[in-house]
Structure 1
Amino acid sequence: MEFLKLHLDHMVLAVLGFMSFVMLALALERCIYFWQMRKHLAQFQHIELLKVALTRHLTTISSVGSNAPYVGLLGTVLGILLTFYEMGQGDGINVNNIMVGLAMALKATAAGLLVAIPAMLFYNGLLRQVDVLVSRWKALQDSQA
């Protein structure tokens, strides 16, 4: 229990930091790919192959956005459990210690939301770019026919 008490914040923030790093790296990769793809749309002979190429890594970005709040919530729940455990182990109830424990626990939820909100914004923006590029590909196909 002591290990969890000492390292819970670090573990939750490390997981959320890793999720954030992965999401940002993949979003940047997709932005660069989409920028380059504008010139090479004619390479694709079938629309489904184009969609597969364009939507690569979007599931991971969406998963980060969907699951980061749950990671933060898990940290909050564990922090609250630790606070209640300490209350049960003590001789008296110290309101200051309880409030500090609860505030620190809620930090994990806030961090989860700080990761999830940009992830979902990136995901929706990138999904819009997929739609635009697919529409441009269809327009190219129509003009060539």
Structure 2
Amino acid sequence: MAKTNAEKQKLYRENLLKNKSKYDQMRKISRIRDNKRKKVERINNKQSSSYKSHQSFGKTVKRVLQSLPKDIHKCVSVVHHIAQEFNIIPKTTSHHQREQHSLSIELKQLVMNFYSQDDISYHLREAHQLFLIEHDHTDAYLSLGSFSDLRPS
């Protein structure tokens, strides 16, 4: 009956022990191979931590957590800022950007044409109201300040 791989390996080891020089040579090759494998494992699994022990790292983390504010919102903002300082997350320029509703070119042109009419005085207080009544089809909001700014000088 054919021998299994385990039995073949066992016989190989027994025969290897009989020849001392061959045994020493195989141990040397095996030791080199194992050292190479361990070295590659260490390189691949190397932590980027500068701490030598897990305990010292845990102690430092505990100190930092105790130093943070107790309010969760303040804590989040502090941690977020620190992460941005260390380039862990990208820095944002601004969280809130003001929306500017600029007037359309057509609306500006309508106001300028309105002021260029002969029957409209530049100093007329109700000019804004007259414009809104005359051009009520425009869906854009035109404030009195914006209307006054478009008055030709």
Query: Which interval holds the TM-score relative to the shorter structure?
Result: under 0.3
Could you state the TM-score of these two structures normalised by the residue count of structure 2?
0.23
Could you state the TM-score of these two structures normalised by the residue count of structure 1?
0.24
